[in-house]
Chain A
Amino acid sequence: MSTVISVENVSKSYRLGMIGGATLKEDFSRWWAATRGKSDPLAKVDVAERARKIGEEFWALREVSFEVKSGEVLGVVGRNGAGKSTLLKILSQVTAPTSGEIKIRGRIASLLEVGTGFHPELSGRDNILLNGAILGMTRAEIRRKFDEIVAFSEIEEFIDTPVKRYSSGMYVRLAFAVAAHLEPEILIIDEVLAVGDTQFQRKCVGKMGEVSQEGRTVLFVSHNLTVVASLCDRAIFLEGGRKLMEGAPEHVIATYVNSGSELLGEVTWDVSDGRARSDRLRLLGTRILCRDQITADVQIDGSITIQYDFEVLKDGLSVTSSIHLLDKHNACVFVSGPPSQTLPAGRYQHSCIFPPNLLNDGMYSISIFLLIDTTVHDVVIHNAISFMVHETEEREEFLGQVIGCVRPKLEWIEKGLNGAAKFRG
Chain B
Amino acid sequence: MMCNQMQATIEQRTRDNTLAETAEWTTRITPHRGWLDWRLNQLWRYRDLISLFVWRDFVSAYKQTVLGPVWHIIQPLLTTLMFTLVFSRVARLPTNGAPPFLFYLIGTVAWTYFANNLTKTSGTFVNNAHLLGKVYFHRLVIPISVAISNLVTFGIQLGIFLVALLLYRLSGHGGQITGWIFLTPVLLLILAGYGLGGGIIVSALTTRYRDLANLVGFGVQLFMYATPVIYPASAVPEHYQWLIKLNPLSSIMEGFRLGFLGVGTLSVPQLGASIGGMILILLVGIMLFTHVERTFMDTV
Contacts and interface: CB of A to CB of B under 8 A. Distances in A.
A205 interface: no
Contacts of A119: 56, 60
A87 to B, nearest CB: 11
A22 B208 contact: yes
A157 B13 CA distance: 55
Contact of B133 (A94, A108, A133, A134): A94
Nearest to B64: A121
Interface in B95-133: 130-133
A350 interface: no
Interface residues of B, number: 42
Interface string A13-41: 01100111011110100000000000000
Given A134-B49, A134-B131, A14 B136 contact: no
A15 B299 CA distance: 9
A46 B23 CA distance: 52
B169 interface: no
Interface string A89-112: 111111111111111111110101
Interface in A109-129: 110, 112-113, 116-117, 119, 121-122, 126, 129
Contacts of A3: 21
Given A22-B209, A101-B28, A122 B56 contact: yes
B29 A23 contact: no
Given A94-B297, A96-B295, A105 B29 contact: no
A112 B134 contact: yes
A136 interface: yes
Given A23-B209, A162-B63, A138 B48 contact: yes
A2 interface: yes
Contact of A121 (B60, B131, B294, B295): B60
Interface residues of A, number: 51
A357 B137 CA distance: 47
A1 to B, nearest CB: 9
Interface string B46-66: 001101100010011001100
B25 A103 contact: yes
B59 A122 contact: yes
Contacts of A96: 29-33, 294-295
A80 to B, nearest CB: 18
A107 B26 contact: yes
Given A27-B209, A134-B49, A138-B48, A92 B135 contact: yes
A130 B23 CA distance: 33
Contact of B297 (A6, A95, A113): A95
B143 to A, nearest CB: 16
B37 interface: no
Nearest to B29: A102
A286 B16 CA distance: 61
Given A94-B132, A107-B26, A23 B48 contact: no
A153 to B, nearest CB: 19
A14 B297 CA distance: 11
B27 interface: yes
B300 interface: yes
Contacts of B238: none
Nearest to B17: A2
A257 to B, nearest CB: 30
B23 A23 contact: no
Contacts of A18: 299
Contacts of A100: 31
Most chain A CB inside 10 Å of its own CB: which residue of B30, B52, B209? B52
A135 interface: yes
9 contacts: A22-B208, A92-B136, A93-B27, A94-B133, A94-B135, A96-B29, A105-B25, A116-B131, A119-B56
Given A129-B52, A136-B137, 15 more contacts: A2-B17, A19-B298, A23-B209, A92-B135, A92-B136, A94-B132, A96-B294, A101-B30, A101-B31, A103-B25, A104-B28, A105-B27, A112-B134, A122-B60, A139-B51
Can you list the 9 inter-chain pairs with the closest CB atoms, starting with the nearest?
A93-B136, A96-B294, A102-B29, A2-B20, A104-B27, A121-B63, A103-B25, A133-B49, A24-B209
Interface of A: 2-3, 6, 14-15, 18-20, 22-25, 27, 89-108, 110, 112-113, 116-117, 119, 121-122, 126, 129-130, 133-136, 138-139, 162
